[in-house]
Structure 1
Amino acid sequence: MKQRFPVALVMTAIAAACTATAFAQSPTVPAGKDWPHITGNLGAQGYTSLTQINKSNIGNLGPAWQTNLASEPITSPAAAPGTTNTGGQSTPIVVNGVMYVNPPGGGVVALNAATGAVKWKWVPSATLNGYGPTSTQRGVSVGEGKVYTTASGNRVVALDQETGAVVWAVQPTDTTGTALSGIAKVPPRYHDGLIIMGTNDNARGAAFALKASDGSTAWVFYSTYPHGTSFTDVNGTTFDAGDTFTTKDTPNDTPNECYRTAGAAPWQQGSIDPELGMLYVAFGNVRSCGGSQNGAGRPGDNLFGSSVVALDYKTGAYKWHFQSVRHDIWDMDNVLTPTLADVQIGGETKKVIFYGSKSAHQFTLDRATGKPVLPIEYRAIGGDSRNNPAPTQPFPLQSIYSEQCMVLQNLGSEVPGHPNRLAPNWNGYQAEPDPANPGQMKLVYRSPNYLSDQEPFLVGPPRKGCLYEGSYDGFVYVYPPSQNGGNDMTVTTMSPKLNMRYVGLSYMPGGHPLQQGGNGLRMIGGYQTGAILGVNNSTGQVVWYEPLKYDLSRQHNPLVTATDLLFHTQMDGWLVGRDAATGKELWRFQMGAPSQTGTISYEVNGEQYIATTNMAGGQPYSQGGNGQSVWAFKIGGKAKYYTGTRADPVYVTGGSEAPAPLPIPNWRRPTDNAAAGIVPDNEVWMARSNGTATSTPDSVATASMIPSQRRVPVGTTVTFRNPGIETFPNSPNQKEHCATQFFEGKFNFRLQPGQTAQYKFDREGEYYYNDCTDPRPVGRIIVTLDAVEQPGALQFVPNVLNLRPANGVFTSVQGLVTATFKLPAGYVLDGMDSVKLKTPLTNELFTPVQAKATSDGKSLVLSFDKALIDSNIPVGDAVPLIVTANFMHEGVQKKLTSTANVRVVK
Structure 2
Amino acid sequence: MKFFSTALALTLVTSFCLSLSAERLIDEKVKVTSNYDWSNYAQDKGSSKYAPLDQINRSTVKDLQIVWSWDSTDNQRVTLRPQQVPLSFKATPIKINNTLFTSTSLGAVVALDAQTGALQWEFDTETWKDGRPVNLGFHHRGVSYWENSGKKRILMPTNNGYLWSLDAETGLPDSLFGDGGKVDLTEGYGREINRKHYGVTAAPTVVGDIVVIGGLVADYPLMDLPPGHVRGFDIHTGKQRWIFHSIPQHGESGNDTWEDDSWKRAGAANVWTLMSADPELGYVYLPFGTPNNDWYGGARPGDNLYAESLVCLDAKTGKRVWHFQMVHHGLWDYDLPAAPNLVDIKVDGKAIKAVAQVSKQGFVYVLDRVTGAPVWPIEERAVQRSNVPGEHSSPTQPIPSKPEAFELQGISDATLIDFTPELRAAAEKIISRFDHGELFTPPSLKGTIQLPGWGGGANWSGAGFDPETSMFYIPSMTMPSVVQLVEPTKDGTTENRYIRGGTRNVRGPQRLPLTKPPYGRISAINLDTGEYVWVKPNGEGIRQKIIDMGIDDPGPVGTFTISGPLVTKMLLFQAVTDNKKHLLTAYDKQTGETVHQFELPAAPGGTPMTYMVDGKQYIVIAVGGVKDARLVTLALP
- The TM-score bracket by the shorter chain reads 0.7 to 0.9
Q: Once the two structures are superposed, what CA deviation does each residue of 1:183-223 show, in whole Å capped at 9, x if it has no partner?
A: 32122223312221211124200211222212221211121
**Where in structure 2 are the equivalents of 1:253-332 lying within 5 Å?**
255-258=260-263, 260-287=265-292, 291-332=293-334
Distance (Å, rounded) in 2 between the aligned partners of 1:426 and 1:43: 43
Alpha-carbon distance in 2 for matches of 1:118, 1:519 = 49
Q: For residues 117 and 255 of structure 2, what CA distance do their matches in structure 1 show?
A: 51
Q: Is the counterpart of residue 40 in structure 1 residue 43 in structure 2?
A: yes
1:94-134 CA-to-partner distances (Å, cap 9, x unmatched) read 1111111122422111110111111112223489xx87897
What is the CA–CA distance in structure 2 between the aligned matches of 1:410 and 1:611, rounded to whole Å? 38
> Where do residues 307-706 of structure 1 align in structure 2 (5 Å cutoff)?
307-386=309-388, 387-399=391-403, 400-408=405-413, 413=419, 423-428=427-432, 465-472=437-444, 474-515=445-486, 517=500, 521-525=504-508, 527=513, 529-548=519-538, 549=541, 551-552=559-560, 554=562, 556-562=563-569, 564-572=570-578, 573-615=582-624, 627-636=628-637
Q: Secondary structure at the match of 1:403?
A: coil
Distance (Å, rounded) in 2 between the aligned partners of 1:370 and 1:98: 37
Paired residues of 1:107 and 1:151 also in contact (CA < 8 A): no
Cα distance in structure 2, aligned partners of 1:415 and 1:122: 60
Residues paired across the two proteins, number? 532
Distance in 1, matches of 2:632 and 2:244, equals 38
Which runs of no fewer than 5 residues in structure 2 stay unpaired?
Answer: 1-31, 175-180, 219-225, 487-498, 542-557
**CA deviation after TM superposition for structure 1 residue 512, in Å:** 2.4
Q: Does 2:172 match 1:149?
A: no
Residue by residue over 1:690-749, the C-alpha shift from the partner in whole angstroms, topping out at 9 and shown as x without a partner, is xxxxxxxxxxxxxxxxxxxxxxxxxxxxxxxxxxxxxxxxxxxxxxxxxxxxxxxxxxxx
Matched residue, 1:242: 255
- Conserved in 2, the CA contact under 8 Å of 1:592 and 1:627? no
How far the C-alpha of 1:224 sits from its partner, in A, is: 0.5
Equivalent position amino acid for 2:214 in 1: G
Q: Distance in 2 between matches of 1:395 and 1:179?
A: 36
**Correspondence 1:228 to 2:251:** yes
Aligned residues of 2:103 and 2:142 also touching (Cα < 8 A): yes
1:59 counterpart SS class: helix
Taking a change above 3 Å as real, the CA distance of residues 519 and 630 of structure 1, as seen in their structure-2 partners, is: farther
> SS at 1:423's partner residue?
helix
2:591 alignment partner AA: T
What SS is found at the alignment partner of 1:269?
coil
CA distance in 2 between counterparts of 1:493 and 1:245 reads 35
SS, match of residue 99 in structure 1 = strand
Q: For 1:303 and 1:422, how far apart are their aligned partners in 2?
A: 41
**Who is 1:679 aligned against?**
none
Q: Is the 8 A contact 1:100 1:109 kept in 2?
A: yes
Residue matched to 1:828: none
In the aligned structure 1, how far is the partner of 2:233 from the partner of 2:96? 21
Q: 1:71 to 1:596 in 2, by over 3 A?
A: closer
Q: How many angstroms apart in 2 are the aligned matches of 1:90 and 1:602?
A: 16
**What does residue 546 of structure 2 align with?**
none
Residues 423 and 222 (structure 1), Cα distance of their counterparts in 2 relative to 1, 3 Å cut: farther
How far apart are residue 89 of structure 1 and its match?
1.6
Q: Is the 8 A contact 1:505 1:531 kept in 2?
A: yes
State the shift of 1:427 in Å.
4.4
Q: Separation in 2 of the partners of 1:312 and 1:333?
A: 22
- Cα gap change, 1:176 to 1:533, in 2 (>3 Å): closer
CA contact (8 A) 1:104 1:628 kept: no
Q: Distance in 1 between matches of 2:309 and 2:426?
A: 30
CA distance in structure 2 between the partners assigned to 1:604 and 1:415 by the alignment: 57
**Quick one: distance in 1 between partners of 2:114 and 2:502?**
40
Q: Which amino acid aligns with 1:521?
A: R
What's 1:196 paired with?
Answer: 212
The 8 Å contact of residues 74 and 627 in structure 2, kept in 1 or not, is answered as: no
Post-superposition Cα deviations, 1:375-431, rounded to whole Å, max 9, x if no partner, equal 21221111224421211111111221023232448989459999xx99343443xxx
Q: Deviations over 1:775-796 (max 9, x none)?
A: xxxxxxxxxxxxxxxxxxxxxx
Question: Aligned AA for 2:575?
Answer: T
Q: CA–CA distance in 1 between the matches of 2:323 and 2:209? A: 25
Please give the alpha-carbon distance, in whole angstroms, between the structure 1 residues aligned to 2:434 and 2:605: 38
Report the more deviating stretch, 182-191 or 92-101.
182-191
**C-alpha contact (below 8 Å) 1:70/1:86 kept by paired residues:** no
Change (3 A) 1:126 1:540: closer
Which structure exhibits the higher relative contact order, with contacts defined as CA atoms closer than 8 Å and separated by 6 or more residues?
2
1:88 CA displacement: 2.4
**Distance apart, 1:592 and its partner CA:** 2.5
Look up the SS of the partner of 2:163 in the other structure. Answer: strand
2:188 aligned residue (152, 174, 194)? 174
| SS, match of residue 301 in structure 1 | coil
1:613/1:469 CA distance change after superposition, 3 Å? same
Structure with the higher fraction of residues in strand conformation: 1
Give the 3-state SS of the residue equivalent to 1:497 in structure 2: coil
Answer whether contact 2:358 2:463 (CA < 8 A) is retained: no
Q: Secondary structure at the match of 2:343?
A: strand
TM-score in terms of structure 2 length: 0.77
Counterpart code for 1:478: I
Question: Deviation at 1:225?
Answer: 1.8
The DSSP-based 3-state class of the residue aligned with 2:485 is coil
Tell me how far apart the structure 2 counterparts of residues 265 and 513 of structure 1 sit (CA, whole Å): 24
Q: Distance in 2 between matches of 1:242 and 1:426?
A: 42
Deviation at 1:310?
0.3
Residue type matched to 1:540 in 2? G
CA distance change for structure 1 residues 389 and 330 in 2, over 3 Å: closer, same or farther?
Answer: same
The code of the aligned residue for 1:465 comes to: G
Aligned to 1:206: 229
Unaligned runs of 5+ in 1: 1-29, 75-79, 231-240, 247-254, 429-448, 452-463, 617-624, 637-906
Say if 2:138 is the partner of 1:138. no
C-alpha distance in 2, partners of 1:410/1:283?
31
Please, which moves more after superposition, 579-588 or 626-635? 626-635
SS state at 1:630 partner: strand
Query: Could you tell me how far apart the structure 2 residues matched to 1:159 and 1:311 are?
Result: 27
1:278 touches 1:312 (CA, 8 Å); kept in 2? yes
2:208–2:279 Cα contact (<8 Å) kept: no
Q: Separation in 2 of the partners of 1:422 and 1:242? A: 48
For 1:84 and 1:224, the matched residues in 2 are separated by 33
- In percent, how many aligned pairs have the same letter? 28
Residue aligning to 2:109: 108
RMSD across aligned C-alpha pairs, in angstroms? 3.1
Q: CA deviation at 1:163?
A: 1.8
Q: Cα–Cα, structure 1 residues 315 and 411, in superposed 2: closer, same or farther, change >3 Å?
A: closer
**Contact 1:426/1:478 (<8 A) preserved:** no
Deviation at 1:277, TM superposition (A): 1.4
Q: Which amino acid aligns with 1:530?
A: G
- Residue 61 of structure 2 is aligned to residue 58 of structure 1: yes
Q: Map Cα deviations across residues 546-592 of structure 1 (whole Å, 9 max, x no partner).
A: 123365452x2211012x20111114421111111111111222222
The answer on whether the counterparts of 1:104 and 1:615 sit within 8 Å (CA) in structure 2 is: no
